[in-house]
């Protein structure tokens, strides 16, 4: 299995593509976005933490090629799907990207091909909906004519110590033979493999990982409000608690959840659980708490502006950070968008600054903001500053001489202005 196709060349697919290429496989990257295809074939990068030199080295070596032609899966041994799994407007799973991709590749599957889904989804997707479209479109039978497996993506953007090859890989197959084929595939590029008994166990594993984070972030977000009412700094409490060498893991509050995983994936299980007559009350409560955090930030902003004798209406507000996470260029599901929406709905004029996201890209959820540009510099020429993302640039920035209030949602500022508020 030295000839692999990876469909979806985003934050998951591109690093995985490079890891397989570095490991000696010949990789065909497939995507419907021609701009990504052109960039890869030109040895260029469109993701901040993926170096252009790494792409150029693999294309020059003949190990990596990108294309929009899905019929080329006819010439590969394995196909890995790394496509989005968002929620629709009713907060229900949207499997259209997975199933459309399945339909696109199905006519070109040959006997013996391995298909692996990496996109986060609810248990039963791989051996249910995806299997159905692959079989109906190919005339082949999964587990007999072609192999089918699920292996959840595990990416930690912005963490320089997180390398694809060193992140243990959970793998589940439709049949024991499917599992063996999938283990052989990932064994080419990943050092530690974690086989499980089925695709559904692998799918459930990914959901548990993300629900664990969502619930614990909700806990500290709620404690932030409770301790704040008691005039206790939640950040100091966490720093003290994490000195315990057992039974505690630190999680940190913020202005809301961001990224493609934590705000979305728990609701995949919530939706699927209803089919079995189960109610995920704990998960849904965590979602409610995390979703309410932007409102808390707005409340603190109200208080900060009131201290200046100003209202939110007609105020000029600068938000620091559009990316959902420190030191990355990924703006998916960023809580900053919610803050912009809420402040502008109240009549404020909102600008943003983010050295990692100089221009707001076109997104499905926030198309109206596409093309807005980051402020060139951080200045006190505003009525209020709200720090939403803890980029290193903001941690070291000297705000001490700024005469305007600053609301810090990440406990990131070290050189604080006189009018400093935590949210």
Q: pLDDT tens digits for 277-310?
A: 999 999 999 999 999 999 999 999 999 999 999 9
Per-residue pLDDT band at 317 (split at 50, 70, 90): very high
In a domain, 253, yes or no: no
Q: How many structural domains comprise the chain?
A: 2
Q: Encode burial over 165-178: b for 16+ CB neighbours within 10 A, e otherwise.
A: eeeebbbbbbbeeb
Mean pLDDT of 317-332: 94
Q: What is the pLDDT of residue 84?
A: 93
In a domain, 172, yes or no: yes
User: Which residue, of 139, 169, 197, is where some domain finishes?
Assistant: 197
In a domain, 357, yes or no: yes
Per-residue pLDDT band at 48 (split at 50, 70, 90): confident
User: Which residue, of 177, 197, 217, is where some domain finishes?
Assistant: 197
Q: Of 27-36, 128-137, 338-347, 357-366, which range is least confident?
A: 357-366
Active-site positions? Answer: 261
Q: What is the pLDDT of residue 167?
A: 95
Instruction: Provide the CATH number for the domain around residue 416.
Output: 3.40.50.720
In a domain, 217, yes or no: no
Same domain, 26 and 175: yes
In a domain, 255, yes or no: no
Same domain, 193 and 334: no
Q: Which residue has the higher pLDDT, 334 or 88?
A: 334
Q: What is the pLDDT of residue 159?
A: 75
* Domain limits for position 413: 292-422
Residue 190 phi/psi, 5-degree rounding, is: -115, 135
Share of the chain above pLDDT 70, in %: 99
Same domain, 48 and 154: yes
Per-residue pLDDT band at 415 (split at 50, 70, 90): very high
267 pLDDT higher than 90: no
Question: For residues 43 and 306, what is the distance between their CA atoms, to the nearest angstrom?
Answer: 52
Residue partners of 309: CB distance under 8 A and separation at least 6:
none
Residue partners of 168: CB distance under 8 A and separation at least 6:
154, 190, 192, 193, 194
In a domain, 238, yes or no: no
- Give rounded-to-5 percent helix, strand, coil for the chain: 40, 15, 45
Question: For residues 194 and 189, what is the distance between their CA atoms, to the nearest angstrom?
Answer: 14
What is the residue-averaged pLDDT of the chain? 95
Q: What is the pLDDT of residue 91?
A: 81
Mean pLDDT of 226-255: 97
Q: pLDDT tens digits for 11-30?
A: 999 999 999 999 999 999 99
In a domain, 241, yes or no: no
Mean pLDDT of 368-382: 96
Question: For residues 153 and 387, what is the distance between their CA atoms, to the nearest angstrom?
Answer: 30
63 pLDDT higher than 90: yes
Per-residue pLDDT band at 260 (split at 50, 70, 90): confident
User: Which residue, of 162, 180, 197, is where some domain finishes?
Assistant: 197
Per-residue pLDDT band at 87 (split at 50, 70, 90): confident
Per-residue pLDDT band at 121 (split at 50, 70, 90): very high
Q: Of 177-181, 243-247, 367-371, which range is least confident?
A: 367-371
Collapsing DSSP to helix, strand or coil, 114 comes out as: strand
Find out whether 187 and 195 touch, Cβ atoms under 8 Å.
no
Per-residue pLDDT band at 336 (split at 50, 70, 90): very high
396 pLDDT higher than 80: yes
Q: What is the pLDDT of residue 89?
A: 80
Per-residue pLDDT band at 141 (split at 50, 70, 90): very high
CA-to-CA separations, 21 to 154, 166, 175, in angstroms, rounded? 18, 15, 27
Closest CA to 20 of 54, 67, 62, 63: 63
Question: For residues 284 and 262, what is the distance between their CA atoms, to the nearest angstrom?
Answer: 13
Q: Encode burial over 124-149: b for 16+ CB neighbours within 10 A, e otherwise.
A: bbbbebbbebbbebbebebbeebbbb
Q: Does the CA dihedral 211-213-217-220 come out positive or negative? A: positive
Mean pLDDT of 343-367: 93
Q: What is the pLDDT of residue 162?
A: 73
Same domain, 162 and 43: yes
Mean pLDDT of 101-128: 97
Q: pLDDT tens digits for 161-208?
A: 778 999 999 999 999 999 999 999 999 999 999 999 999 999 999 999
Closest CA to 317 of 292, 335, 341: 341
Find out whether 63 and 41 touch, Cβ atoms under 8 Å.
no
Q: What is the pLDDT of residue 360?
A: 95
In a domain, 218, yes or no: no
Q: What is the pLDDT of residue 172?
A: 98
Same domain, 409 and 297: yes
Closest CA to 410 of 329, 345, 304, 319: 319
């Amino acid at each position: 299995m030295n000839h692999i196709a990876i469909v979806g060349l985003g934050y998951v697919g591109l690093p995985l593509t490079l890891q397989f290429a570095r490991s000696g496989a010949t990789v065909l990257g497939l995507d419907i976005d021609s701009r990504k295809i052109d960039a890869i074939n030109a040895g260029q990068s469109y993701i901040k933490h993926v170096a252009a030199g790494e792409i150029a080295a693999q294309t020059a070596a003949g190990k990596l090629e990108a294309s929009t032609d899905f019929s080329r899966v006819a010439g590969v041994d394995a196909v890995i799907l790394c496509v989005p799994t968002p929620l629709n407007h009713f907060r229900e799973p949207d499997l259209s990207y997975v199933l459309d991709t399945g339909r696109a590749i199905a006519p070109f599957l040959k006997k013996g091909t391995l298909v692996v889904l990496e996109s986060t989804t609810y248990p039963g997707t791989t051996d249910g909906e995806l299997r159905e479209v692959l079989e109906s479109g190919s005339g082949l039978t999964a587990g007999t004519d072609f192999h089918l497996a699920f292996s959840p993506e595990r990416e930690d953007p912005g963490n320089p110590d997180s390398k694809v090859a060193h992140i243990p890989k959970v793998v589940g197959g439709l049949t024991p033979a499917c599992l063996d084929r999938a283990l052989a595939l990932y064994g080419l590029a990943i050092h530690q493999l974690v086989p499980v008994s089925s695709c559904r166990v692998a799918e459930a594993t990914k959901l548990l990982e993300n629900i664990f984070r969502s619930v614990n972030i909700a806990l500290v977000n709620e404690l932030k409000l409770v301790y704040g009412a008691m005039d206790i700094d939640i950040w100091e409490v966490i720093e003290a608690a994490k000195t315990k060498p057992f039974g505690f893991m630190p999680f940190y509050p913020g202005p809301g959840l961001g990224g493609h995983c934590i705000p979305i994936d728990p609701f995949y299980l919530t939706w699927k659980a209803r089919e079995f007559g189960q109610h995920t009350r704990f998960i849904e409560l965590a979602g409610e708490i995390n979703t309410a955090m932007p409102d808390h930030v707005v409340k603190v902003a109200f208080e900060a502006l009131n201290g200046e004798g100003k209202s939110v209406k007609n105020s000029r507000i600068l938000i620091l950070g559009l990316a959902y996470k420190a030191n990355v260029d990924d703006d998916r599901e960023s809580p900053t968008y919610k803050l912009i929406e809420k402040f502008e709905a109240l009549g404020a004029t909102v600008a943003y600054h983010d050295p990692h996201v100089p221009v707001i890209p076109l997104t499905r959820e926030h198309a109206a903001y596409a093309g807005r540009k980051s402020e060139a510099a951080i200045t006190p020429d505003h009525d209020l500053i709200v720090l939403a993302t803890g980029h290193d640039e903001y941690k070291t920035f000297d705000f001490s001489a700024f005469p305007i209030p600053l609301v810090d949602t990440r406990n990131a500022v070290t050189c604080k202005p006189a009018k400093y508020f935590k949210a």
